[in-house]
Amino acid sequence: MSIRLGVPSKGRLMDKTFAWFAERGIEMRRTGSEREYAAEVAGADIDLRLLSAGEIPRELASGRIHLGVTGSDLVQERIPAWEQAVEVVAEMGFGHADLIVAVPTCWVDVSTLDDLDAVAAQFRQRHGYRLRIATKYHRLVRDFLREAGVADYRLVDSQGATEGTVAHGTAEAIADITSTGETLRANNLKILEDGLIHRSEATLFRARGAEWKAHERQALSEFFSRLGLD
């Protein structure tokens, strides 16, 4: 068996992943049309699999792939007790984004999590239901707000553009990924001063639960040596 390596299947994340490996002497290339999702690693015993960035945490956690490249935010959100399931091999220096808590800019007296907690309590007393925070990152946001002591809120799932949920009246605040903050500002939202939940970047992970026979371990050692990671 070859080492199974999952990498993003399209877009800038795939291009930058290929470039990162190429800079370290590992050539990755597509072997078919874009619809075939087929690729290979030149001169290495690697079974290269093109997957969506969101699929890779699941495949790592299940042990169906040995290595995977995806955002650290996705791994920490989608794998319970993620440090027991995967190991960080290398932070790759691209795909940076911050998972943050943001509120309407018109909330002039709300700039910290303590302020948000106070507003949430007032909101529930006034309206009879909990303040809604729209997000795609339920686990990370819930853990973060619990540690910060924020109560009286409810997470609502966002399937589309999270930044638009406040304007559309389906949430009062959001927790979302941002790179520049421009979309937040365009939607009249501001990041809380202490509202940084996680700094994400593309990361190479190793699956702790994958089957590592002697052949795979030898191939991994050779692969890491070529990458300068041994």
The DSSP result for the chain, as a single string, is -PEEEEEE-SHHHHHHHHHHHHHTT--EEE-S-TTTTBEEETTS-EEEEEE-TTTHHHHHHHTS-SEEEEEHHHHHHHSTTHHHHEEEEEE-S-S-EEEEEEEETT-TT--SHHHHHHHHHHHHHHHSSPEEEEES-HHHHHHHHHHHT--SEEEEE-SS-GGGTTTTTS-SEEEEEESSSHHHHHTTEEEEEEEEEEEE-EEEEEETTS---HHHHHHHHHHHHHHT--
Residue 67 is predicted with a pLDDT of 97
Q: What is the pLDDT of residues 185-215, one digit of tens each?
A: 999 999 999 999 999 999 999 999 998 888 8
Q: Which CATH superfamily is domain 3-95+202-227 in?
A: Periplasmic binding protein-like II (3.40.190.10)
Homologous superfamily of the 97-200 domain (CATH): Periplasmic binding protein-like II (3.40.190.10)
Tell whether the model's pLDDT for residue 38 goes beyond 90: no
Section 133-151 average pLDDT: 97
For residue 230, pLDDT over 80 is answered with no
Q: Any idea which of 33-47, 129-143, 194-208 has the lowest mean pLDDT?
A: 33-47
Q: What is the pLDDT of residue 43?
A: 78
> Do 97-200 and 3-95+202-227 have the same topology in CATH?
yes
Share of the chain above pLDDT 90, in %: 80
Is the pLDDT assigned to residue 35 strictly greater than 70? no
**pLDDT tens digits along 62-82:** 999 999 999 999 999 999 999
- The residue extents of the domains of the chain are 3-95+202-227, 97-200
Q: Looking at residue 84, what is its pLDDT? A: 97
Q: Judge whether residue 89 has pLDDT over 90.
A: yes
- pLDDT at residue 99 is higher than 80: yes
pLDDT of residue 228: 87
Q: In this prediction, what percent of the chain has a pLDDT beyond 70?
A: 97
